Chain A
């Protein structure tokens, strides 16, 4: 995977995830309604991620970044299809746990790819550029989604984000083919 493609990929999934995260709270509001439930939903996410990192780290070098990123893309694409169906708080808890696992896969892979491709001497400017482009993509997505929610239902946001994740998964597969 070349570095430019990686930025492109991270930009795409950044767009998809920032489409849902700020608005995800609107869904939780419809499903649960206490602050404690909010706390648990996000706490479970962070806790599962924490438990997963050592394991992911252990396998990251053996399995390869691309495979992990593909797991993340397709995992998110499928997981998001279940969000509109959540109607009880425990549904949300389960989804959060799975999001925690996938989130850890993504965070770890993001850093390992950067570590492998960045040139030590110009790491600062390279990582700066990386963050610039991925943040721009995230910003555009979050603003556009704000308008979308007004027009569409919350559920459709999840479906759109899911499709974007699936597309990012397909892009990854292309990379593999080109390289082979």
Chain B
């Protein structure tokens, strides 16, 4: 009898522990994520106020030090670091300065994470117009990589920035927007921290809304027309993503799509407004773990994803919760291997020709361990000097598992360069925050204004106070 009581008490404690763990301690890992690119830096400094940041900048000027700016450091090409430089950690500079309910705007310090903003604006029934699919990143980081997300109606992240303030290499604070210092504004968006420190940002918000999840499955060739008819031309469709199979059974053929459409009955919104936390990490992590190992694992992962997608059809979810995609299950700790991302953009009309061409490259390289391909939509956008959305495009994000030794890096580089060539041949472009695999020539072709970008850098920061490895690698 005593044993029964002990067992009961234990079960209660077990549940309580898991509850506390999943609700409170599930924050992002603050570790550095620079496994492929170990760089010795001099020191890391953090500023929590404008004055402290100014002091760091002015001291660096006096001492001839080089500064790099870091948020969550998930860029993979050394955009946040420079050898023997001082890294400014922006994470503590994270206050939500003001939520203006009437104007539907929020002003935040650049180290604030998207999750922090969501927590601040959700009680007002407000929502971000555009954010990255994962909410673990800092606002300053996302702007510096000119990120995009699942939203298909509000353009790019840069379209939602009403204004921001930038501290330049002289410690001066400049107001930037499309009408003020607009040249610098379009260089700082997707500027990889080369022009100064983004201090605070005012973002345009929209109303939180209840969505109904609509899922579908199709061959890749049917996807562009599905997208145009069922998603783009349906004014109720607000957010969208799709995945294409990497499983051997249906490699680069089979797809599923998830679209979030305005629900008929918005009165149900309050029931769904509570922000969700990441709970079931173990299940997707288990399947992703299997798919890293072999083909059978990949087949199982794809089947599990498709089953899951079918199940969520019709589910109601708030806009804010759609913008909180899980990411923790992707965390990966291995001393000899790491996981990298690639992202390619192709015009909507090129998609059908592009996929078989990409497939040919991948099939010719059977050792290339591709784990996932997520497809989203980006509208034509030229706010940034380094704009990747030259027309309305599909973006493909590739998750790749690779070794960290020189041979593996070389092998991945070969495949990546081939994939980029194929992408460029289809009038596409690629995303810049990742490891420096692409050649300078490829960058120039994907980004015709590359030279202008680096010239602007040299003009606005002639002493190169702000530097990173991306500049070193790609300055023409």
A positions within 8 Å CB-CB of B: 26, 30, 74, 77-78, 81-82, 84-85, 87, 149-153, 155-156, 159, 162-163, 166, 169-170, 173
Contact = CB atoms under 8 A, between A and B. Distances in A.
Contacts of A163: 14
Contacts of B17: 81-82, 84-85, 159
A135 B205 CA distance: 61
B2 A77 contact: no
A180 B429 CA distance: 77
Interface string B326-338: 0010010110000
Given A74-B6, A81-B13, A162-B14, A152 B21 contact: no
Those 3 A-B pairs whose CB atoms lie nearest each other, nearest first: A173-B3, A151-B289, A81-B17
B7 interface: yes
B285 A153 contact: yes
Nearest to A174: B3
A151 B6 contact: no
Contact of B14 (A81, A151, A169): A81
Pick from A30, A85, A87, A169 the residue with the most CB of B within 10 Å: A85
Given A151-B290, A159-B14, A169-B7, 14 more contacts: A78-B13, A81-B13, A85-B20, A87-B25, A152-B282, A153-B285, A153-B328, A153-B331, A159-B17, A163-B14, A169-B3, A169-B6, A170-B3, A173-B3
Contacts of A78: 10, 13
Interface of B: 2-3, 6-7, 10, 13-14, 16-18, 20-21, 25, 29, 31, 281-282, 285-286, 289-290, 328, 331, 333-334
Interface of chain A, helix or strand or loop or mixed? helix
Contacts of B290: 151
B21 A84 contact: yes
Contact of A74 (B10, B18, B286): B10
Contacts of A84: 17, 21, 25
Given A85-B20, A85-B25, A153 B282 contact: yes
Contact of B286 (A85, A87, A152, A170): A152
A85 B19 CA distance: 10
A37 B20 CA distance: 26
B2 to A, nearest CB: 7
A157 B396 CA distance: 34
Contacts of A26: 333
A149 B321 CA distance: 29
B247 to A, nearest CB: 18
A73 to B, nearest CB: 10
Contacts of B16: 81
19 contacts: A30-B29, A77-B10, A78-B13, A84-B21, A85-B17, A150-B289, A150-B334, A151-B286, A151-B289, A152-B282, A152-B285, A153-B285, A153-B328, A156-B282, A159-B17, A159-B18, A169-B10, A173-B2, A173-B6
Nearest to B11: A166
A78 B331 CA distance: 27
B8 to A, nearest CB: 11
A153 B285 CA distance: 8
A133 to B, nearest CB: 25
A5 to B, nearest CB: 16
B24 to A, nearest CB: 8
A172 B58 CA distance: 68
Given A150-B334, A153-B281, A153-B282, A170 B21 contact: no
A137 to B, nearest CB: 22
Contacts of B29: 30
A74 B9 CA distance: 10
Contact of B10 (A85, A87, A152, A166): A166
A153 B17 CA distance: 15
Given A166-B10, A170-B7, A151 B21 contact: no
A104 B16 CA distance: 28
A155 B10 CA distance: 17
A85 B14 CA distance: 12
Nearest to A78: B13
A149 B14 CA distance: 20
B21 A155 contact: yes
A63 B375 CA distance: 65
